[in-house]
Amino acid sequence: MNEKGGHTAKKQKAVPHKRESRTKAVFSYSLQTKVNAAFLAGQGKTPSQIAAATGITTSHRVRELLRRLEIYPAPEMKGCEAVVVLLQHGTVEAMAALADRAGMDPPSFAAHVITTMVVGEPTVLCNLLQEAES
């Protein structure tokens, strides 16, 4: 004790708790598994579908792997299925401009337009198809 009544021993600094890094686990997948996961994500497959196809244990781990690879998978929605459509750059740019004017992101806008034309107002689609055949 010192003259003020306190202990003379220095206080030890607390050692910060080291968090276990998930990076090692994420990047321990083989190159083939990463490529397959990325390919399936590009095909519009959901994380649970990718997990089943690649042997990754959970959809959460698939999402984590894809995020690390800067790939953002399709959201999982019951009763929905992804459709991959190849469009010319000009068409995509025009659709993006229309989506922006509507205050929507391009994928949601495209889904809305297709649903409206096929389910809501199929007459419009039928008329367009008849014009194309003429």
Strand (E) positions, 73-133? none
Instruction: Give residue for tokens 């042997």.
Output: 55
Question: In Å, how far are 88, 94, 111 from 75, measured between CA atoms?
Answer: 25, 24, 14
Per-residue buried b or exposed e for 114-124, using 16+ beta carbons within 10 Å of the residue's own CB: eeeeeeeeeee
Do 93 and 59 have their domain in common? no
In this structure, the answer to whether residues 94 and 62 fall within a common structural domain is no
In a domain, 37, yes or no: yes
> Does residue 10 lie within any of the structural domains?
no
Q: pTM of the prediction? A: 0.46
Query: Is residue 93 domain-shared with residue 64, that is, in the same domain?
Result: no
Of 59, 60, 53, give the one whose Cα is nearest residue 35. 53
27 in a structural domain: yes
Full domain range(s) for residue 31? 23-68
pLDDT tens digits, 76-122: 667 777 677 888 999 999 999 999 999 998 888 888 898 888 888 88
Q: Give the closest residue to 34 by CA, choosing from 64, 5, 9, 3.
A: 64
Q: Of the candidates 27, 111, 30, which has an alpha carbon nearest to the alpha carbon of residue 69?
A: 27
Let me know whether 128 and 99 are in one domain.
Answer: yes
Q: Is residue 11 part of a domain?
A: no
Give yes or no for residue 19 having a pLDDT over 80.
no
What is the per-residue pLDDT across 29-57, written as a single tens digit (0 to 9) for each? 889 999 999 999 888 788 888 999 999 98
What's the total number of domains in the chain?
2
Q: Considering the domain boundaries, does residue 119 fall inside one?
A: yes
- 40 exposure class (CB count in 10 Å sphere: 0-12, 13-18, 19+): buried
- Which pLDDT score, from 0 to 100, does residue 4 have? 62
